[in-house]
């Protein structure tokens, strides 16, 4: 009798779970564009929907995703949905010559799967990853909200997504180059922009800030000045015992969620503590740095962000508040190298 009751409860739970699931039909194009990464560095990238990082895909645990991918480039690609279990959908795992044939130039491919694992997941190309992922920006965030969030998650008032990457200026201007053992990276970025071309992150006193930290291509040693961070999730899943840290070490491919209680008003920097990762081609005060600004703090005339146009969605904070689905981020867009650029147009990202 007890077994029957448990089985009935599980069946009812499954039906309830499915009843609340949504189907998200999305389209991704892969484009050949130029991306301004840092002062003095413009890289040729293969960009999902023309942007690096690729669009934010934000769904709930149990939702279905149908993603049509169009390859508008001159080389072949796939999309691997990193962290998704692909239960009963292994042909959507995105590995060339294993689960599918690569998507050739001018062709399209449809991936269908259930977002069966919650948390900070991501997607990336799985063809020649040493170049396509490591040097050409073929990655983006896939955030799956859990059906049963932890008590800590329920307290979060602001979200921010940070994706760390490295670049090699020697091969940045030519597709098909790079990705070799011992390759030297000399530029570093957060969300595709090196400091100071990125943006500050604005918070209020009392905010419970969740940073979703991604290391798609390079190791990272994340450090926030003026605050301790509490590691709550690794690779999407909650830790049994959240871990307080001052510096958080990450290896390529890893994701960590950290929560910071914003209780120390001021202007603070966060940065990668691998020292040369805070340089632009050896020039100090660049790379993987960002500034956290508390609202209401008066800034001096010499403050570097004093008169720079602010983009509140550079860390996808605004997009994370929007309805579930795919969200393009204008600040991450590359540009067609063959099209004229309006140099007089205002920019939301950083200093020039």
Domain spans of the chain?
Answer: 152-312
* Rg, Å, the chain Cα set: 21
- Other Cβ atoms less than 10 A from the Cβ of 318: the count is 14
The rounded percent of the chain whose pLDDT value lies above 70 is 91
Q: With contact defined as beta carbons under 8 Å apart, do 141 and 212 qualify?
A: yes
Tokens 């090196």 locate to 194
What would you measure as the largest C-alpha separation in the chain, in angstroms?
A: 75
User: Who contacts 68 (Cβ-Cβ below 8 Å, separation ≥6)?
Assistant: 25, 26, 27, 28, 108, 109, 110
Confidence of residue 19 (pLDDT cuts 50, 70, 90): low
What pLDDT does 351 receive?
61
User: For residues 338 and 44, what is the distance between their CA atoms, to the nearest angstrom?
Assistant: 12
User: For residues 352 and 350, what is the distance between their CA atoms, to the nearest angstrom?
Assistant: 7
Confidence of residue 238 (pLDDT cuts 50, 70, 90): very high
Confidence of residue 18 (pLDDT cuts 50, 70, 90): low
Kindly report the average pLDDT of the chain as a whole number: 93
- Whether pLDDT at 267 is above 90: yes
Q: What is the mean pLDDT of residues 101-127?
A: 98
Q: Counting beta carbons within 10 angstroms of the beta carbon of residue 209, is it exposed (0 to 12), middle (13 to 18) or buried (19 or more)?
A: buried
What pLDDT does 329 receive?
97
Confidence of residue 339 (pLDDT cuts 50, 70, 90): confident
User: What would be the CATH architecture of the domain defined by 152-312?
Assistant: Sandwich (2.60)
What pLDDT does 341 receive?
65
Residues linked to residue 230 through DSSP beta bridges, in sequence order: 244, 259
User: For residues 127 and 131, what is the distance between their CA atoms, to the nearest angstrom?
Assistant: 9
């Amino acid at each position: 009798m007890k077994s029957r009751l448990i089985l009935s409860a599980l069946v009812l739970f499954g039906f309830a779970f499915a009843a609340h699931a949504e189907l998200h039909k999305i389209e991704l194009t892969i484009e050949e564009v130029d991306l301004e990464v840092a002062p003095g560095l413009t890289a040729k990238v293969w960009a999902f929907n023309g942007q690096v990082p690729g669009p934010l895909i934000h769904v709930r645990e149990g939702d279905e995703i149908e993603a049509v991918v169009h390859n508008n480039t001159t080389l072949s690609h796939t999309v691997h949905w990193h962290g998704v279990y692909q239960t009963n959908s292994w042909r959507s795992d995105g590995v060339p010559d294993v689960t599918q044939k690569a998507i050739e130039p001018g062709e399209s491919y449809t991936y269908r799967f259930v977002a069966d694992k919650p948390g900070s997941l991501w997607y990336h190309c799985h063809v020649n990853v040493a170049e396509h992922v490591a040097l050409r920006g073929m990655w983006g965030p896939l955030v799956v909200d859990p059906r049963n969030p932890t008590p800590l998650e329920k307290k979060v008032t602001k979200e921010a997504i940070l994706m760390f990457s490295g670049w090699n200026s020697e091969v940045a201007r030519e597709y098909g180059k790079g990705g070799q053992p011992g390759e030297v990276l000399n530029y570093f970025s957060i969300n595709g922009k090196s400091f100071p071309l990125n943006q500050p992150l604005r918070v209020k006193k009392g905010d419970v800030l969740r940073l979703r930290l991604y290391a798609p291509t390079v190791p990272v040693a994340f450090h926030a000045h003026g605050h301790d961070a509490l590691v709550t999730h690794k690779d999407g899943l909650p830790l049994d015992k959240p871990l307080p840290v001052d510096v958080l070490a990450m290896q390529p491919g890893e994701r960590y969620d950290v929560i910071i209680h914003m209780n120390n008003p001021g202007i603070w920097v966060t940065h990668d503590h691998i020292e040369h990762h805070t340089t632009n081609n050896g020039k100090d005060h660049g790379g993987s740095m960002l500034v956290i600004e508390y609202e209401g703090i008066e800034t001096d005339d010499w403050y570097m962000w004093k008169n720079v146009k602010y983009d509140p969605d550079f860390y996808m904070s605004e997009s994370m508040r929007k309805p579930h689905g795919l969200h393009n981020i204008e600040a991450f867009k590359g540009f067609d190298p063959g099209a004229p650029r309006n140099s007089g147009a205002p920019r939301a990202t950083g200093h020039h």
